Amino acid sequence: MGLVPAKSPWLRIEAVLLIVLGIAALIMPLFAGVALTLTLGLILTAAGVVGVISAIAGRHHVHLGWSLASAILALLLGLFLLIFPLAAAVVLAVLIGAYLLFDGVTIIGLAVNRRNRGDKPWGWLLAAGIADLVLAVFLITLGALGAASLIGVILGIDLIFAGVALFITHASRPRLAPSSLV
């Protein structure tokens, strides 16, 4: 008779930790936004350094220029994020706002095109395009502290949802008992 392992407590611990960190990010969104920016800066800086070393060490391959350009771009972007985390968070929010602005205009254009062709569900596309435009204007006009804080709020919401989903998934798994696997 073999034993099938019972549920591990580690998934529940991870779920609770994600929820707690998510709540902390919502309570301190500016701190969370800057911390996320700094973490991304560390990752890009490390990737850039390794990329430069790799490109120089393997300079005999055919893509030296592109490899070096990519590595230097990652290194410079990572250093920018590390040296100016608040400015980087603002730039990120403005870039997302610009994307939403462009996306909103194109989705509204698609909705008008579908309406002109007599397609019925064009209203949902129009609503999605308008929502994109509203979010774009909100992001672009938010200001420096608001933009950095917004990244922290998004992180907090994401962590809470991930933690709740993990907790529910773990709780719904049946507790396995000894079984005979002879």
Spatial separation of the C-alpha atoms in residues 141 and 94, rounded to whole Å: 9
Spatial separation of the C-alpha atoms in residues 75 and 53, rounded to whole Å: 11
Structure tokens at 57: 């060490």
Q: Which of 38, 18, 42, 46 is nearest to 155 (CA)?
A: 18
Spatial separation of the C-alpha atoms in residues 136 and 182, rounded to whole Å: 62
- pLDDT of 120 higher than 70: yes
> Which residues, other chains included, contact 152 with Cβ-Cβ below 8 Å and sequence gap of 6+?
25, 26, 28, 29, 30, 31, 32, 33, 34, 35, 36
Highest mean pLDDT among 58-62, 93-97, 140-144, 159-163 belongs to 159-163
pLDDT in tens, 39-94: 999 999 999 999 999 888 877 765 788 889 999 999 999 999 999 998 888 888 88
Give me the pLDDT at residue 174, please. Answer: 66
Give me the pLDDT at residue 177, please. Answer: 55
Helix (H) or strand (E) holding 87: helix 85-116
Asked if 114 and 121 touch (Cβ cutoff 8 Å), the reply is: yes
Instruction: Check: pTM over 0.85? Answer yes or no.
Output: no
pLDDT band at 8 (very low <50, low <70, confident <90, very high): confident
Residue 181: strand, helix, or coil? coil
- pLDDT of 4 higher than 50: no
| Of 3 and 23, the one with more pLDDT | 23
- pLDDT of 143 higher than 80: no
